[in-house]
Amino acid sequence: QSALTQPASVSGSPGQSITISCTGTSSDVGAYNYVSWYQQHPGKAPKLMISEVTDRPSGVSNRFSGSKSGNTASLTISGLQAEDEADYYCNSYTTTNTYVFGTGTKVTV
């Protein structure tokens, strides 16, 4: 099972919007609406930001939103803030009842 493909880095200025892509196949991202996104600051545990493609857990800023088209899921951060600088990982359920993470994207503000 290969890792989902994410851009290595994405950058933006404060206040701007950025989008991180997560590309898989018809056996994972494209098969179900079970894509989640995690934010990880250096030396810290990952934090759930988006579940089931679009759902935002309680306490997560509404500046974070998710979407999916075909085999590619996306995380958009609007109104970029300094505190958003972190690594971001997508995760998907697969048709073989396993789970695969993305390669990770470093966001620089």
Partner 1 sequence: QVQLQESGPGLVKPSETLSLTCTVSGGSISGYYWGWIRQPPGEGLEWIGYVYSTGSTNYNPSLKSRVTISGDTSKNQFSLKLTSVTAADTAVYYCARYHLGGAYFDYWGQGTLVTVSS
Contact residues for partner 1, defined by CB under 8 A: 1, 3, 32, 34, 36, 38, 44-48, 51-52, 55, 57, 89, 91-93, 96-104
CB of 18 to partner 1, least distance (A): 19
> Is the Cβ of residue 52 or residue 79 nearer to partner 1 in the bound state?
52
Q: Give the contacts of 29 (CB within 8 A, at least 6 positions apart).
A: 4, 22, 23, 35, 68, 71, 72, 73, 92
> What amino acid is encoded at 20 in this protein?
I
CB of 13 to partner 1, least distance (A): 26
- Given a contact cutoff of 8 angstroms between Cβ atoms, the answer to whether 94 and 66 are in contact is no
CB of 50 to partner 1, least distance (A): 9
> Is the Cβ of residue 4 or residue 77 nearer to partner 1 in the bound state?
4
> Is the Cβ of residue 17 or residue 96 nearer to partner 1 in the bound state?
96
Contacts from 50-54 at CB under 8 Å and sequence distance 24+? 50/75
